Structure 1
């Protein structure tokens, strides 16, 4: 394991990002607590306040490190707009182990967003919407990699894998966000109508 000696090692390497992500876990827990406490003074149930706070922090904590890692400088630059070409190139040049790491890593980039966003935002409680959101976010990341000249391949394969990972994660949490949507639609309209 590489030692973290200077600021670049902390913010510019995979090891540094992983270390900082683990070190930030207590801060993430504190942020959940602070948000839930702030909401407890509003006319919502404590369970709802904790759930919304956990979801908001979870989306950020589960997504930012992966995006950060994709923005670290790479070792080869380029653009690949033909589906599967970049993955086949990795397989041919670097082998199946590297390809597996590439695929799994890309599936995880927006997985937290896909899993949690439908639970937090009712408007996103749909797999097609999550796919569209993740694809849009991924296109922004790939464009930033190209514009910032990070020596990374800006690839349509990454966009497809990022969106697929978010979609699979949304399917994994579907039973909870569908139950939440059903529960909110079963409430009497007078209970959800704003007070005048």
Structure 2
């Protein structure tokens, strides 16, 4: 766990320090929207969803795109990395747990903001597409990381689980059409 802290502690601390800025940003955006005539509830939901997507995803993408002193590698065989990670509990928690969280905020808030994305299948596809872009960036930028199809799958599953957890709110948003672009 000390290695995880050494590697990612700065990102974690920066994310925690940013929380007041995130809250302030939601409040300012909601206030601007309310002054422009948007109903208060809609203004708050839209603002929270937009800021939540960015603030909840950006630290994880920062971690993923942090260069390492290693050769870049590509793993295209599905479930290969997952099988290896299942043999080591510490790797399992860090790798699988971390990959489940990468696009969780996106999966949680996107269907609230854009009802067209409401539904597990759509969010899975959206999360997979976002993950493919990140994995391609890792490879193209030669960051010394592994670009893996398993990362794409686990990232997309994390977005989907978060989507399901937010169902109450995106159903409400879709029913009231409060989040139409």
1:13-38 residue CA offsets vs partner (Å, 9 max, x unmatched): 41111111111111111111111111
Q: Equivalents in 2 of 1:144, 1:36: separation in Å?
A: 33
Quick one: structure 1 residues 70 and 164, their matched pair in 2 at CA, closer, same or farther if it must change by over 3 Å? same
Q: Structure with the greater relative contact order (CA < 8 A, sep ≥ 6): 1 or 2? A: 2
- Among 51, 56, 61, which residue is 1:62 paired with? 56
Q: Offset of 1:91 from its aligned partner? A: 4.7
User: Does 2:110 correspond to 1:117?
Assistant: yes
User: Does 2:30 correspond to 1:36?
Assistant: yes
The residue aligned with 1:180 is 173
TM-score scaled by length of structure 1: 0.82
Q: Offset of 1:75 from its aligned partner? A: 5.4
User: Does 2:14 correspond to 1:20?
Assistant: yes
Counterpart of 1:40 in 2: which secondary structure? helix
TM-score scaled by length of structure 2: 0.88
User: How much is the aligned-residue C-alpha RMSD, in angstroms?
Assistant: 2.0
User: Does 2:81 correspond to 1:81?
Assistant: no
Counterpart of 2:143 in 1: which secondary structure? coil
Q: Equivalents in 2 of 1:174, 1:75: separation in Å?
A: 41
- Among 162, 165, 175, which residue is 1:169 paired with? 162
Quick one: structure 1 residues 165 and 57, their matched pair in 2 at CA, closer, same or farther if it must change by over 3 Å? same
Q: Offset of 1:182 from its aligned partner? A: 2.1
How many equivalent pairs are there? 174
The residue aligned with 1:98 is 91
- Among 148, 162, 183, which residue is 2:141 paired with? 148
Q: Which runs of 5 or more residues in structure 2 are unaligned?
A: none
Q: Which runs of 5 or more residues in structure 1 are unaligned?
A: 3-8, 186-196
Q: Offset of 1:87 from its aligned partner? A: 2.4
Q: Offset of 1:85 from its aligned partner? A: 1.2
Q: Offset of 1:156 from its aligned partner? A: 0.1
Quick one: structure 1 residues 78 and 132, their matched pair in 2 at CA, closer, same or farther if it must change by over 3 Å? same
